């Protein structure tokens, strides 16, 4: 049977699978004959051997569709052999027709189960191979991050990514709760890859992916629901590879502190001060509450006061420049600043650095993040 099928499908020879094809034919023949003898589905068969053979075909890169075609063609060969045997034995016509019906039913049962087995085994082997390859890449990358004496040329060849060039790192984290992290992260990687050209991606776990690429701008990253992205600064060579990755991790940490509705991606350049001040998030929350007092409340009046004070500090405490920025009369700004000063019980000019920093941190935490424990 294997020889006949090889003659029908010349492309089989290109995969060097005659040994596997013979073993598959023998396994399926045993299964089929047992099924036929019992006049029903075989409950005692060599399933483990058959699954191993199908997975071996996947590892030898035999296309799944080719295997489906081979199996379907094998039905024709089997029916031909059955008909010839019936004719050789000079079986009466009525009995021969009944035998053919029984034979066809058994063949169709086998073919139906094999289609499902092939699809399932190919998919499970694909996942296993991808997982092994991903783990191997992760091991190489972790070695590069930990060891500045690693063989860069060898690692570049294994990863398929030039390590001696320019790097911008990104770290992607799934923030969803519906178990669909894989597809979300894949969409996020595709979004990064659109303009990046060469890209190195490493799956760290079910919810985290590390990436490196020569160029990436935070402004060009479209928001992807339930995915947070931290982006490092550009760097050259292995020093830049490592530093940009650390920056991306810190940027991601800041992104994860931000309330729902915040942008998906944040760059380390924007997050650097916040990252420095939030290594202990709970102490950062206490600092914000202490510096801003009632201005942290989730009310329209508190939001208006925070906006006025932030603009006032941004304009070097100049009333008229602040008024122009907010499109207000300068006396209105004076009135609001006096109100704020009275609420906070301190001198806003003297405490500018601390309160300006607290306002910046509040932009990250928001009322929602400030109340987290």
pLDDT in tens, 145-170: 887 777 888 888 888 889 988 999 99
Instruction: List the one residue out of 198, 218, 200, 220 whose CA is nearest residue 209.
Output: 200
Model confidence over 74-103: pLDDT tens digits?
Answer: 666 667 776 777 778 777 877 777 777 777
Instruction: Give me the mean pLDDT over the 284-311 stretch.
Output: 92
Q: Give the separation between CA 161 and CA 213, rounded to whole angstroms.
A: 9
Burial of 183 (0-12, 13-18, 19+ CB in 10 A): exposed
Higher pLDDT, 312 or 190: 312
Pull the structure tokens for residue 131: 């997982």
Closest CA to 139 of 151, 155, 157, 162: 155
In this structure, what is the dihedral angle of CA atoms 308, 311, 315, 321, given to the nearest 10 degrees? -60
What is the model's pLDDT at position 9?
47
Model's pTM, two decimal places? 0.63
pLDDT of residue 253 exceeding 80:
yes
Q: Which CATH superfamily is domain 280-370 in?
A: PucR C-terminal helix-turn-helix domain (1.10.10.2840)
Range 118-132 average pLDDT: 71
pLDDT confidence of 43, banded at 50, 70, 90? very low
Q: Say which residue, 61 or 227, is predicted with more confidence.
A: 227
Question: What proportion of the chain, given as a percentage, has pLDDT over 70?
Answer: 75
Residue 252 has pLDDT above 70, yes or no: yes
Asked whether the predicted pLDDT for residue 129 surpasses 70, the reply is no
Q: How confident is the model at residue 104 (pLDDT cuts 50, 70, 90)?
A: confident
- d(CA 296, CA 256) in angstroms, rounded, equals 20
**Percent of the chain, pLDDT > 90?**
28
Cβ atoms 167, 185 nearer than 8 A: no
pLDDT in tens, 44-74: 455 676 677 777 776 666 776 777 676 666 6
SS3 176: coil
Residue 106 has pLDDT above 80, yes or no: no
- Asked if the model's pLDDT at residue 269 lies above 80, the reply is yes
Given a contact cutoff of 8 angstroms between Cβ atoms, the answer to whether 212 and 169 are in contact is yes
Contact 201, 184 (CB under 8 A): no
Record the tokens describing residue 229, joined without a space.
């992205």
Residue 286, pLDDT > 90, answer yes
Please, what is the average pLDDT of the chain? 80
Q: Where are the domains of the chain?
A: 2-130, 153-275, 280-370
The answer to whether 273 touches 205, Cβ cutoff 8 Å, is no
Cα separations (Å) of 189 from 32, 213, 221?
Answer: 46, 11, 10
- Binned at pLDDT 50, 70 and 90, residue 236 comes out as very high
Overall fold of domain 153-275 = Alpha-Beta Plaits (3.30.70)
Q: Looking at residues 267-282, what average pLDDT do you find?
A: 90
């Amino acid at each position: 049977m294997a020889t006949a099928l090889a003659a029908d499908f010349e492309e089989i020879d290109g995969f060097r699978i005659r040994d596997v094809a013979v073993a598959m034919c023998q396994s399926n023949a045993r299964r089929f004959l047992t099924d036929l003898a019992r006049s029903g589905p075989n409950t005692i068969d060599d399933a483990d051997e058959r699954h191993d053979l199908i997975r071996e075909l996947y590892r030898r890169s035999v296309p799944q569709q080719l295997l489906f075609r081979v199996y379907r063609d094998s039905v024709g060969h089997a029916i031909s052999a059955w008909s010839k045997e019936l004719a050789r034995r000079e079986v009466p016509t009525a009995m021969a027709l009944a035998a053919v019906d029984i034979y066809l039913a058994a063949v169709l049962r086998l073919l139906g189960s094999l289609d499902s087995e092939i699809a399932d085994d190919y998919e499970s082997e694909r996942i296993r191979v991808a997982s092994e390859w991903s783990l191997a890449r992760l091991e190489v990358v972790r070695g590069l991050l930990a060891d500045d004496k690693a063989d860069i040329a060898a690692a570049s060849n294994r990863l398929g990514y030039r390590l001696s060039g320019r790097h911008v790192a990104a770290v992607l984290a799934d923030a969803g709760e519906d178990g669909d992290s894989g597809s979300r992260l894949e969409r996020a990687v595709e979004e990064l890859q659109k303009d990046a050209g060469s890209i190195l991606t490493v799956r760290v776990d079910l919810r985290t992916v590390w990436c490196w690429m020569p160029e990436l701008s935070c402004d060009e990253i479209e928001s992807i629901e339930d995915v947070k992205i931290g982006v490092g600064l550009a760097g050259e060579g292995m020093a830049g590879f490592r530093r940009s990755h650390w920056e991306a991790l810190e940027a991601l940490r800041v992104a994860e502190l931000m309330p729902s509705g915040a942008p998906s991606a944040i760059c380390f350049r924007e997050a650097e001060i916040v990252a420095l001040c939030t290594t202990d998030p709970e102490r950062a929350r206490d600092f914000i509450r202490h510096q801003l007092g009632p201005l942290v409340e989730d009310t329209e009046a508190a939001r208006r006061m925070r906006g006025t004070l932030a603009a006032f500090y941004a304009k070097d405490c100049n009333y008229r420049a602040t008024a122009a920025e907010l499109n207000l009369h300068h006396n209105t700004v004076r009135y609001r600043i006096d109100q704020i000063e009275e609420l906070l019980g301190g001198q806003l000019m003297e405490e500018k650095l601390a309160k300006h920093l607290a306002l910046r941190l509040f932009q990250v935490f928001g009322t929602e993040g400030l109340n987290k424990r």
